Amino acid sequence: MVNGLVSIIMPSWNTGAFIAESIQSVINQTYRQWELIIVDDCSTDNTDEVVSTFNDDRIKYLKNEKNSGAALTRNKAIREAKGEWIAFLDSDDLWQPEKLEKQLGFMNKNGYVFSYHEYEKIDEDSNPLNAYVSGPDVVDKRKMYNYGYPGCLTFMYSMKYFGLIQIKDIKKNNDYAILLKLCKHADCYLLKENLAKYRIRKKSISHDKIMKKLKSHYDLFHLCDEKEVPVAFWYASWNMVYGTLKKKRYEKNK
């Protein structure tokens, strides 16, 4: 484990149209001590070609032998991580240049081992959607089970404190599965600053119908978090309610 090094976890699958911009947002970081671990899940587009245009020793590009899904792909990338800190950036999202510097400063100053920050939404062409997303100042275990407030592109944790985190193979909500593991050991603290851009895509798997969303949340709590059937169903239902409340309270127009 390398002190001060941030290991950035980036799974990829058919994001050749976006991944260059995502990688560049990492290269543009004012904090320079990072490694970017990209694990491609058998893309059929030009992802290989796009990634090959970047000549930076801090970028590690790995490929799955067979299509494995985002959960196992993230697991593989985390196992490869050498850093003291773990952060996540999907291959179609973006970071502001001072994201790592400001978030690490926030955590080191306050002695936090788990944090997240605010972000904004953009469309497929990187145009702002004038939507600003925040969250509670502190997300403890109870709040995290109510709803996965930290966006995947915003949270960071200490590898020294939490150790190796691996999750079960679920198709969706695998970033939320990581949050559920982390929240059992430490609270997550909010840095009140917009440091990232979350891309809304028309074909994103996060845009499901209500019943499909309910099923994916049930799988998260039952299969991944190993809750009994009634408890898993309760959390899944409650999660849908809090998702609506979150949009009303923490998502604002800029």
What's the pLDDT at 73? 96
Q: Token digits for 32? A: 């320079």
What's the pLDDT at 208? 58
Indicate the pTM of the whole model.
Answer: 0.94
Taking 70 as the pLDDT cut, the residues of the chain under it are: 203-208, 254
**Residue 200 DSSP one-character state:** P
b/e map 180-200, b = 16+ CB within 10 Å: bebbeebbbbbbebbbbbbbe
Check if CATH label 3.40.50.10190 holds for domain 2-203.
Answer: no
What's the pLDDT at 214? 85
Q: How far is Cα 177 from Cα 237, in angstroms, rounded to an integer?
A: 16
Q: How far is Cα 224 from Cα 217, in angstroms, rounded to an integer?
A: 10
Residue with tokens 């490929």: 63
